[in-house]
Chain A
Amino acid sequence: MTRTTGPALALDDLRVSFPSAQGPVSAVDGVSLELRPDEILGLVGESGCGKSTLANAAMGLLPESAEVSGAVRLGDRDLTILAERDLRRIRGDEIAMVFQDPSTSLDPVWTVGDQVAETIRAHRDVSRREAKARALKLMREVGIPSAEQRYGEPPHRMSGGMKQRIVIAAALANDPAVLIADEPTTALDVTIQAQILQLLDGLRQRRGTAVLLITHDLGVVAQVCDRVAVMYAGQLVEVATTEQIFSHPAHPYTEALLRAVPGTGEPGAELTVIPGQVPDLAAPPVGCRFAPRCPFATEECSIRPPLEGDEAHGAVACWHPRSRDREVTAR
């Protein structure tokens, strides 16, 4: 598969809103983000911040009711304006997705091997036997022992970790340029989570697949991501290298989120909490959506801060960024 030197996937001022009884809910509000080839980019945020909506938008899998503007660029095509028929050819071929819960993302009536082979046959004109041979190879690659025997098993006979490996095998079946993994380890045990994260990291290195790893778990981000994008209430608040984010978080929300993780500070000490509640996205605050909960907010914050910065320090959308060394570059 040919790859250009540009970003593998680029979101350009993406906005998604859903109709509701209280008026349109702005789930994703002006997100611009580039996923580079070969990198694992972590997309972090709490429930309802819009990270899963963003993933579905990138796959062209939003429900009909969603209002979308902006662009999702895969190569030189904009997925937001592509017809369903063309989208179908791209999905599972050039861009693939791994879902949160492997127990529900595999169809219970088909064998696990069939579901890997199905992805191949949906895009490649190959015989059943050829598809099966390729599926077996993929199953071995993602670490499924005795793949031949397990090919014909229904999903319910497999453990969660094995099922997630199958889901990953199906996602990688056509060697996509972009893999979107939406909380791929949240439903798994800790020791199994470590296995799956190492698998994703290894696959990325071997195949050069760009991975957008969506998670709420900062620990997972620190383990495998090259760069991190932090979302709050539908807006991107900070994008930086993993080292930068964890050593010098620039956005007050990122900083507060890091302090809230147990196990980082003194055991038994009070964890930092963020006062207040996540805003109602049907009537979000004007300007910076974090301002009402932010200890550093000023009047300025009623104007939305742009996401600005440079390669070395990352970008932050804040009028009062935290780290001193970034304040210079942020303006």
Chain B
Amino acid sequence: MSVTGLPDVVAVAARPPARRARTSLMIGLVLLGILVLVAILAPVLAPHDPDAVDPNRVLAAPDGSYLLGADDFGRDVLSRTIFALRVSLLVAVSSVVVATLVAVPLGLVAGYFGGWVDTLVSRPLDMILVLPALLLALSLITILGPGSTVAALAIAVIYLPILARVMRASTLVTSQQDYVLAARARGSGHVATMVRHVLPNSIGPVAVQGSVLTGFALQLEAALSFLGLGTQPPTPSLGGMLADGRDVLSLAPWLEIVPGVAIALAVLSFLLIGDGLRRTLDPDGVAS
């Protein structure tokens, strides 16, 4: 309240600078930028054809030509990793984008209207949520058959209820704000109020959750491909490469290390972005 005067000003002034938030956001964005650039420029950057088999170089150690060594078919590990990164990022990002596009309107409507609308929207989503993620993905893949697209779809289904719940919770808070009531008092209809006032003020936590989930989606895609249920050979995938290298770990450790590091870096970049966003949007840590 303004009658107490200074504490407001002081609270603003005493808040530690958002420098740490900006640092982690920047590092995350730069890292992701590099990875995305590498993925996009894969055909240019890759020194070799990722599928070219060379019987003479089976499990060759890193050297001048094959910088990060070759796999059990004599394919260049660096080139395969670059192409695999492309697939993995695409699957991870598209799965979360699809989930968000569906989750945001659902959460918005459920949180804004509440009551039976909320029940109608939230209960089915809760039912998805109670199923173990991997089991859900496995059953979907069993029905639809393995592949990158199906993997992305499965991940989107897993994340849909999570993102919808975040959006709903955030909308519940925003809908109680005076400016939402004020907008209605000025004659704004439900849809206009939701889109113009509730949505932009509620989307922050979804962006945070979305970036973090993209990191996990990347891991999940790798796990599915590792099990042979995601991206199908011969298309290179980070998970698939890990699976291939598993048997020759002691002979050619680079087969595990290179895709492993790639996964770690990509996941890290998304987590850093998520963390930075969270701190920027919510410096006091209230919402978390």
Binding site for B on A (CB under 8 A): 59, 61, 64, 84-85, 88-93, 96-97, 99-101, 103-110, 118-119, 122-123, 160, 167, 170-171, 173, 187-189
Looking at B2, B185, B190, which has the most chain A CB atoms within 10 Å of its CB? B185
Binding site for A on B (CB under 8 A): 1-3, 115, 177-190, 192, 196-197, 200-201
For the complex formed, measure the closest distance between the CB of A124 and the CB atoms of chain B, giving whole angstroms.
10
Q: Is the CB of B201 within 8 A of A119?
A: no
B197 contacts across to A, CB distance below 8 A: 107, 109-110
Rounded to whole angstroms, the CA-CA distance of A261 and B192 in the bound complex is 44
Rounded to whole angstroms, the CA-CA distance of A250 and B18 in the bound complex is 59
Q: Is the CB of B184 within 8 A of A61?
A: yes
Q: Is the CB of A104 within 8 A of B177?
A: yes
For the complex formed, measure the closest distance between the CB of B203 and the CB atoms of chain A, giving whole angstroms.
10
Question: With A188-B2, A189-B2 as given contacts, are A96 and B179 in contact (CB-CB < 8 Å)?
Answer: no
A91 contacts across to B, CB distance below 8 A: 184-187
Q: Which of A84, A101, A103, A119 contacts B186 (CB 8 A)?
A: A119
B200 contacts across to A, CB distance below 8 A: 109
A107 contacts across to B, CB distance below 8 A: 179-180, 182-183, 196-197, 201
Q: Which of A61, A122, A167, A170 contacts B181 (CB 8 A)?
A: A61
Closest to A95 in B: B185
B115 contacts across to A, CB distance below 8 A: 64
Chain B contact residues: over half helix, strand or loop, or mixed?
Answer: helix
Looking at B177, B182, B183, B196, which has the most chain A CB atoms within 10 Å of its CB? B182
For the complex formed, measure the closest distance between the CB of B17 and the CB atoms of chain A, giving whole angstroms.
18
B183 contacts across to A, CB distance below 8 A: 107, 118
Rounded to whole angstroms, the CA-CA distance of A104 and B177 in the bound complex is 7
A104 contacts across to B, CB distance below 8 A: 177-179
Q: Is the CB of A61 within 8 A of B185?
A: yes
Question: With A160-B2, A187-B1 as given contacts, are A88 and B178 in contact (CB-CB < 8 Å)?
Answer: no
Closest to B114 in A: A64
Nearest first, the 4 A-B pairs at minimum CB distance are A92-B187, A92-B186, A104-B178, A97-B185
Closest to A190 in B: B3
Q: Which of A100, A123, A167 contacts B187 (CB 8 A)?
A: A123
25 A-B contacts (beta carbon < 8 Å): A59-B185, A88-B188, A89-B187, A90-B187, A91-B185, A92-B185, A93-B187, A97-B185, A99-B178, A104-B179, A107-B179, A107-B182, A107-B196, A107-B197, A109-B197, A110-B197, A118-B186, A118-B196, A119-B186, A122-B187, A122-B188, A160-B2, A187-B2, A187-B3, A188-B2
A173 contacts across to B, CB distance below 8 A: 186
Rounded to whole angstroms, the CA-CA distance of A167 and B180 in the bound complex is 13
Rounded to whole angstroms, the CA-CA distance of A24 and B180 in the bound complex is 26
Rounded to whole angstroms, the CA-CA distance of A182 and B200 in the bound complex is 26
Rounded to whole angstroms, the CA-CA distance of A59 and B184 in the bound complex is 9
Rounded to whole angstroms, the CA-CA distance of A96 and B185 in the bound complex is 6
Closest to A102 in B: B178
Rounded to whole angstroms, the CA-CA distance of A69 and B132 in the bound complex is 50
Rounded to whole angstroms, the CA-CA distance of A173 and B182 in the bound complex is 14
Closest to B200 in A: A109
A85 contacts across to B, CB distance below 8 A: 189
Q: Is the CB of A170 within 8 A of B179?
A: no
For the complex formed, measure the closest distance between the CB of B207 and the CB atoms of chain A, giving whole angstroms.
14
Rounded to whole angstroms, the CA-CA distance of A96 and B1 in the bound complex is 24
B182 contacts across to A, CB distance below 8 A: 97, 99, 105-107, 167
For the complex formed, measure the closest distance between the CB of B180 and the CB atoms of chain A, giving whole angstroms.
8
A123 contacts across to B, CB distance below 8 A: 187
10 extra interchain contacts, Cβ-Cβ under 8 A, other than A99-B181, A106-B182, A173-B186?
A88-B188, A99-B178, A99-B182, A100-B178, A110-B197, A122-B187, A167-B182, A171-B186, A187-B2, A187-B3
For the complex formed, measure the closest distance between the CB of B213 and the CB atoms of chain A, giving whole angstroms.
24
For the complex formed, measure the closest distance between the CB of B119 and the CB atoms of chain A, giving whole angstroms.
14
For the complex formed, measure the closest distance between the CB of B195 and the CB atoms of chain A, giving whole angstroms.
12
Closest to A64 in B: B115
